[in-house]
Amino acid sequence: MEQFQDLLLKRSLPLSEQVVEAYYRYPRHLFVPEYTMQEAYEDAPLLLYKNGNFVSTISQPSFVMRILDMLQLAPGHKVFELGAGSGWNAALISYIVGSGGKVITSEIIPAVADRARGILDQMRITNVKVFTGDGFEGYEPEAPFDRVIFTAGSFEIPQKLFAQLKEDGLMIFVQKQEKKSDMLQLIKKTQGQMQILNSIPCSFVTVNRSAGSHLQDGTL
């Protein structure tokens, strides 16, 4: 395991010490038990779930860690994540924000939410709350948030979720574009307005806003 972890980390550097520590504390392979150790540490996304338009993946690990660095997370932060997926990203964030911080992560696909919840529970991570629902609406009971992170892309600007971000807070948003690459944007809330600090080409699955009546017993 360690040789695979070390090789992947070397390809991902430079990274902050806190992100490196989180990476070793919560190894990626524990969140994708259906894959081999070698597959878990390839620097590539892996499919978790697919049924029609509903797709869930665990993202390319070097990119995941780079994004966490961009967020400038700190102990005590409260973070909202749209798209729980495997739960790995939430686990990494939970380590960095520590026992005084909290992660609220949404997942629109019940089967995927249950999967993430189960793995996080097995790992006894207590500062992450997974809820099944439309993350685009945010989560008013826990707002405001120090940080917001999207793990799926959208053509629509998340105004309601942005309103739940604290002043001077940071948001990672994935902007979908017609016939162009997606753009991962680092956004700062400045006097209530969006200020784009950085923008990077990327590729993410598309946000699903509602599973509607197609959901039955956690399947689509």
Length of the chain counted residue by residue: 220
CA 82 to CA 151: how far, in whole Å?
A: 6
Q: Tell how many helices (H) and how many strands (E) occur in the chain.
A: 7, 9
AA identity, residue 187:
I
Contact yes or no for 108/133 (Cβ under 8 A):
yes
Please tell me which residue in 12, 16, 56, 59 is annotated as part of the active site.
Answer: 59
**Is 59 a catalytic site residue?**
yes
Query: Closest Cα partner for 147 from 62, 80, 195, 101?
Result: 80
Strands (E), 62-127: 78-82, 102-107
Task: Indicate which residues carry an active-site annotation.
Answer: 59
